Chains A and B, each alone.
Chain A
Amino acid sequence: MTTTSHPRRVSRRTFLAAFAVAALLIAGIVSYAASSSPDGLDSATLRGCETVEVNGAEELSGNCIAQHATDHAMASSPLADYSVRGIGYTNGIAGVIGVLVTLAVAVGLFWLIASRRSARSTSSADGGR
């Protein structure tokens, strides 16, 4: 059950690579198996409404919180709704792009925070290696 004598069986690099591969596989492949039902928050806002087709567009009839929702400012984004330009079955590609963008933004921000700290702690003005 417990690892005793050798708690480090995996090198740091191998571990980080495996973690990255897991994220890419989940976003790129497992995402196709995800449920398309509204989630808990969404279904809370949809209570009391029914979705009806009006001239090819979905509209809400009835009385619910979601009717107060306004259109998304980024609705025209090429990746809106986790697809690439609205093309069917591109969910996984959008997911992989999202993982890579999130990783880049996070590493960039965290590296910046970490290097500001080392700039403070060392007397040299040359922070961030």
Chain B
Amino acid sequence: MSTLTPTTTTVAMHMSDGIINAPVSALFGVIALAGLAFCVWRARTDLDEKTVPMAGLVAAFIFAVQMINFPILPGVSGHLLGGALAAILVGPYTGALCIAIVLVVQALLFADGGVTALGANITNMALISTFVGYLVAVAAYRLIGRRSASVGRLGVVAFLAALCGTVAAATGFVVEYALGGAAAESLGTVAAYMWGTHALIGIGEGLITAVTVMAVARARPDLVYLLRTQARTSHDPIGVPA
């Protein structure tokens, strides 16, 4: 039963329609489409009979975990975005597509995240958080995981990647609000609040990402994209020989 005035819902998780004005929503729609098209083109080299089931399950798993809001402050919660997790497990291109599929299903089927806001939501959570998470994961892995790889070190890498990816996604919203925010709320206030809450959400996201990546690496290290592609010359106990 929708009324003429927008009502707050208990489980809305992503940006609604109307928060960002139409031109900026359209601009980010174009950016999202271009980014996803590029990902489809690049994902072709990562997807085969072996990796398709894993990639599909990563998308389904992230849909599930996004439902789990955890408290971060009194009256404020957070949930996993999943960009870094997807990037570490199936690579940044396939990973971005995983998150985009989750967001489209949430918007069209569950009325979560506005339809006109899909471009901005996909840009923030599917593109920015996935690629920032992946870049941080690669850098951190080279710094601390490569020489003496252990599942624990991989967990630290995953935590850092997820934390950075989440704060980066929040920054995406701040930029969109600066360009086309419909409200009079000052940019500084919005930015400070977004970064503060998402630093806390990022800690939760980091823990979930670390636990998940470590579990997969223990069972099937060959199914972790980061371990597969960041080939090491040393004898590494958790990676598999190429």
Chain A residues with a Cβ under 8 A of chain B? 1-4, 7-10, 12, 15-16, 18-20, 22-24, 26-27, 30-31, 33-48, 51, 57-60, 63-77, 79-82, 91, 94-95, 98-103, 105-107, 109-111, 113-114, 116-118
Contact = CB atoms under 8 A, between A and B. Distances in A.
B68 interface: yes
B55 interface: yes
Contacts of B44: 113-114, 116-117
B58 to A, nearest CB: 8
Nearest to A118: B48
24 contacts: A7-B222, A7-B240, A8-B240, A30-B68, A35-B70, A40-B72, A40-B197, A40-B198, A43-B193, A48-B185, A57-B3, A65-B19, A65-B177, A71-B2, A72-B114, A73-B114, A73-B115, A76-B2, A81-B110, A94-B110, A98-B63, A98-B105, A98-B109, A103-B57
A7 B115 contact: no
Given A74-B108, A102-B102, A58 B63 contact: no
A52 to B, nearest CB: 11
A39 B79 contact: yes
Contacts of A34: 67-70, 77, 79
Interface range on chain B (Cβ under 8 Å from partner) = 35 or more
A66 B10 contact: no
Contacts of B183: 64-65, 67-68
Contact of B107 (A44, A74, A81): A74
B98 interface: yes
A33 to B, nearest CB: 8
A115 to B, nearest CB: 9
Interface in B32-49: 40, 43-45, 47-49
Contacts of A73: 17, 111, 114-115
